[in-house]
Amino acid sequence: MLTPPFHLQVLTDLDEVTKVAAESIIQLAQTSISDHGHFTIALAGGSTPKRLYAYLARSDISTQLPWDHLHVFWGDERHVPPAHPDSNFRMAHESLLQHVPIPPDHIHRIRGECPDAAEAAQDYEDTVLAHFQLQPPNIPRFDLILLGMGADGHTASLFPGTEALHETVRLVTSLWVEQLHTHRVTMTPPLLNNAAHILFLVTGEEKAQTLRAVLKGPQDPDRFPCQLIRPSNGEMTWLVDRAAASRLNP
């Protein structure tokens, strides 16, 4: 079971999750910029956030975001080139980034094309530290990290039963995901949990049993890696639709 404090909002459907998420992002961006002059966000991959990214690209919405003061990172990436159909960068670029006036050097993608996934992970850790002008063991603090949840309880590319779940020092790591027969590059719990805000987006009936296990079941992070995510000094909100929440007690 996830110990509070976290916020759970059960919304009608993906459309409403999208709209509430967009409002949250705009609000957090404005707060971050008035507080420290910039807004640094890490995007989630997969299919759920695609609707959100397309919504943020709408001219009536995108003009509410301060692109000149906004930097985009990714919570994880597949071990593929940026033009590959599976690339999280490609998905966000096609649905959002190519449609908005974000300076190109504000887009910080994971080099999924690198033949050695471990090298891509080290490169990205260096990129994140350089952006925040920090050296280890200091941990960068993202203003917002978007996350999804797989039906198996994974988040980012922290998959059940993998060594990445137990990483306590590295900020970004690579891993072999036997279930998918591929390497992945992912932010680790130390980096994710240092965020000021974490926003989970979870929709669909196929996630209901797992969402119940994550939020209400016993602590078992090796089986349900989402349970590893709890900001040490920040806020966490789960935006879920009714279908995904259908197994949660009222």
Q: Which residues bind ligand 6PG (CB under 6 A)?
A: 44-48, 75-76, 88, 148-150, 154-157
Distance in Å, CB of 161 to ligand 6PG, minimum: 15
Distance in Å, CB of 160 to ligand 6PG, minimum: 12
Q: Is 8 exposed, middle or buried (0-12, 13-18, 19+ CB in 10 A)?
A: middle
Provide the angle, in degrees to the nearest 10, between the axes of the packed helices 48-57 and 88-95. 30
CA angle at 125 for the pair 122 and 127, rounded to the nearest 5°: 110
- How many residues are given for the chain? 250
Distance in Å, CB of 30 to ligand 6PG, minimum: 25
Distance in Å, CB of 119 to ligand 6PG, minimum: 19
Nearer to ligand 6PG, 29 or 199 (CB): 199
When CB distances to ligand 6PG are compared, the closest residue is: 148
Nearer to ligand 6PG, 13 or 35 (CB): 13
Torsion of CA 226, 227, 231, 232, to 10 degrees: -150
Nearer to ligand 6PG, 150 or 249 (CB): 150
Q: How far, CA to CA in Å, does 239 sit from each of 20, 77, 146, 165, 188?
A: 8, 22, 11, 23, 22
Give the whole-angstrom CA distance, residue 63 versus residue 99. 11
Distance in Å, CB of 74 to ligand 6PG, minimum: 8
Nearer to ligand 6PG, 155 or 227 (CB): 155
Nearer to ligand 6PG, 88 or 95 (CB): 88
